[in-house]
Amino acid sequence: MLDYKQLEALATVVEEGGFDKAAGRLHITQSAVSQRIRALEDTVGQALLIRSTPVRPTPAGQRLLTHFRKVYHLESDLLADLLPSSDSVPMIALGINEDSLATWFLPALHPFLQANNVLLDLYTDDQEQTHDLLRAGKVAGCVSTRPDPIQGCSCFRLGRMEYQCLATPEFARRWFPHGVTAEGIRQAPAVTFNRKDMLHCRFAQAWNVMPGEFPTHYVPSTEKFVELISASLAYGMVPHPQGLPLTTRGELLPLAPQSHISITLYWHQWSLGTTLIRDLAGALKQGCRDMLLQ
């Protein structure tokens, strides 16, 4: 049988990135943390941690972490039913892309958070990468562009997020005086969230401009991304819910309204059947009917 205090020590060391912080969080000594992990490694007969900075799990350690996190959710759900007055507050780890987090995700979860005493632990990554967090067992659910569920998980369609290429009128007059052209794209400074974000590349390819052929700012902040565009320093792909107030006021305009890009989003989650995860999925389904294109 696995010792769950030892598993908890393993999970805490990985989450905190080292033994010192893990000891502080668990309110035990660093030596005690090390002893628990060594005992767990003796039990399974394998190394579970790569002692780097930060500490990382081995493949065997990752499998144990996935198991521990699933058991944690099942146990939290059971205790919520058996001990409704308990002071213990369950935490749900979720994977989400920055654009969804900045626009529709939290409003969609408002009813769920109001009805349940639960804490969120949000991991952010590109919408094409978030399912890797789920596969690694770091999160119990994620927003992704992947339509098919990974093993041990279920998924359903949330809706479409539409992106338009926006710029200020001043920027458009300077760089695209006759509309969007391949020459303009190759010269005008664009802004992209990070190097995983391929939305602007997809936009440019409509004019046969390939990745790497246009100047790009990398700004991994949804708020600062739009600020750079609003300051007439760049142009870029902005999600419709975020861009609508700015285009309505005339502060930004779509450079090529016919060339919008729609991303279909899906919700993936562990197939555990716990009440919390089921209720969270229900809140997302309901919220997305109003906030995403269907």
Structural domain contains residue 92: no
Name the residue with tokens 């802004």. 191
Dihedral sign for Cα 78, 80, 85, 86, please: positive
pLDDT at 3: 85
Structural domain contains residue 120: no
Whole-angstrom Cα distance, residue 294 to residue 162? 11
Whole-angstrom Cα distance, residue 135 to residue 241? 29
Contact between 14 and 55 under an 8 Å Cβ cutoff? The reply is yes
Whole-angstrom Cα distance, residue 237 to residue 240? 9
CB neighbour list of residue 222: distance below 8 Å, 6 or more residues apart: 98, 99, 101, 102, 193, 242
Cis ω before 54 (30° cut-off from 0):
yes
Contact between 194 and 97 under an 8 Å Cβ cutoff? The reply is no
Total number of domains in the chain: 1
Structural domain contains residue 219: yes
Start-to-end CA distance of the chain, whole Å, equals: 47
Q: Which domain holds residue 176?
A: 161-263
Domain with 184 in it: what CATH number?
A: 3.40.190.10
Structural domain contains residue 269: no
Contact between 109 and 283 under an 8 Å Cβ cutoff? The reply is yes
Full-model pTM: 0.74
Structural domain contains residue 196: yes
Structural domain contains residue 115: no
Within 45-164, residue ranges assigned H as helices are 59-82, 98-102, 105-115, 130-135
Q: Which residues of the chain have pLDDT under 70?
A: 77-88, 273
Structural domain contains residue 18: no
pLDDT at 200: 95
- Residue 48 CB-density burial (10 A; 0-12 exposed, 13-18 middle, 19+ buried): buried
Whole-angstrom Cα distance, residue 217 to residue 189? 7
Structural domain contains residue 52: no
Whole-angstrom Cα distance, residue 223 to residue 225? 5
Whole-angstrom Cα distance, residue 267 to residue 109? 13
Whole-angstrom Cα distance, residue 146 to residue 58? 26
Whole-angstrom Cα distance, residue 294 to residue 278? 21
